[in-house]
Amino acid sequence: MTPARVMLVDDTPTRSAILEQALLDQGLIVVCRLESAQGLIKNVEIHQPDIILMDLESPDRDTLESMTVLNEHNPKPVIMFSDEDDNQIISKAVQAGVSAYIIDGLDPHKVKPIMDVAIARFREYQALKKELKQTRNQLADRKVIDKAKGVLMKTKNLDEEEAYHAMRKMAMDQSKSIAEISQNILSVMELLTP
């Protein structure tokens, strides 16, 4: 059985590199990795993929989709799902942020494993990005908290622990996070300092 030929279109190179490796591990062929739809239609003609995986949030999707109508002689990518099972795959794919176009003639049995890999990797990437964002926010929060603590220590003549306790109490009383309270303290200070 010849392995399916996959083309990737994704402007996030890290994600598409992860996906490429995962597909190669499955014994598939990744014929081409594009970062934008520049030359998309030409590349489809040259590389003749069986399936195209594309970042759902790429504005170039409509260009790829036009191949289903405008190109009579070239490979026609279609979204080729019909039964309930497939509807679930599509819903999962949309959730994960990946869209797939299948060129007429690819064995439908080959599609599902490819989609599963793509969905899994896109999800993994989503989780990674979320984690990174959280870490960044935490770091930023800590900076603000430290700064506000310093301000309190200086203006109210408190030691570090007392300043932190005062902030925590304020946060609990106002049901806000310590970071928000810290931001408020800094904003007020900014107002008061000429």
Partner 1 sequence: MIGANIEKKALKLGYMPLSDCLPLLVAQKQGFFAEQGLDIELQQEVSWSNIRDKVIVGHLDGAHMLAPMVLASTIGLGGLRKPLVTAFSLGLNGNAFTVSNSLHKQLRKLNTTGFKHASTLKQLIEQRKADNLTPFVFATVYPYSCHNLQLRDWLASADIDPDKDIELVILPPSQMVDHLKLQNIDGFFAGAPWNSVAILQGIGHCLVTGTDIWKNAPEKVFAVTQEWAEKNPNTHHALIRALHQACQWLEESSADAIPLLEEHLSLSSPLIDQACLTPAITGEYIVVKNKEKVKAPGILIFNRIMANFPWLSHAQWICSQMHRWGWIPENISQSDLIKQCYRPDIYRAALSDIKLPDDDYQENIISIPPNHQFIALYK
Choose the stretch contacting partner 1; rule: CB under 8 A; options: 22-30, 60-68, 107-115, 135-143.
Answer: 60-68
d(CA 140, CA 49): 45
Give every CB contact of residue 98 below 8 A, 6+ residues apart in sequence: 53, 54, 55, 56, 118, 119, 122
Q: Is 123 exposed, middle or buried (0-12, 13-18, 19+ CB in 10 A)?
A: middle
Among 12, 26, 48, 63, binds partner 1 (CB under 8 A): 63
Among 2, 27, 82, 173, binds partner 1 (CB under 8 A): 82
Please, which residue, 29 or 89, has the CB nearer to partner 1? 89
Q: Does 94 bind partner 1 (CB under 8 A)?
A: yes
Q: Are the C-beta atoms of 179 and 141 separated by less than 8 Å?
A: yes
The nearest distance, CB 160 to partner 1, in angstroms, is 42
Q: Are the C-beta atoms of 67 and 77 separated by less than 8 Å?
A: yes
The 3-state DSSP composition of the chain as helix, strand, coil percent (nearest 5) reads: 65, 10, 25
Please, which residue, 13 or 59, has the CB nearer to partner 1? 59
Q: Does 59 bind partner 1 (CB under 8 A)?
A: yes
b/e per residue 43-80 (b: at least 16 CB within 10 A): bbeebebbbbbbbeebebbeebbebeeeeeeebbbeee
Among 17, 24, 79, 172, binds partner 1 (CB under 8 A): 79
Residue 84 CA, distance from chain mean position: 26
Choose the stretch contacting partner 1; rule: CB under 8 A; options: 19-27, 51-59, 110-118, 153-161.
Answer: 51-59
Neighbours of 113 (CB within 10 A): 13
Residues contacting partner 1: total by CB under 8 A: 24
Please, which residue, 45 or 65, has the CB nearer to partner 1? 65
- Per-residue DSSP letter, 33: E
Among 47, 61, 147, 176, binds partner 1 (CB under 8 A): 61
Please, which residue, 80 or 153, has the CB nearer to partner 1? 80
Q: Does 104 bind partner 1 (CB under 8 A)?
A: no
Residues engaged in binding partner 1 (CB under 8 A): 56-63, 65-66, 68-70, 72, 78-79, 81-82, 87, 90-91, 94-95, 99
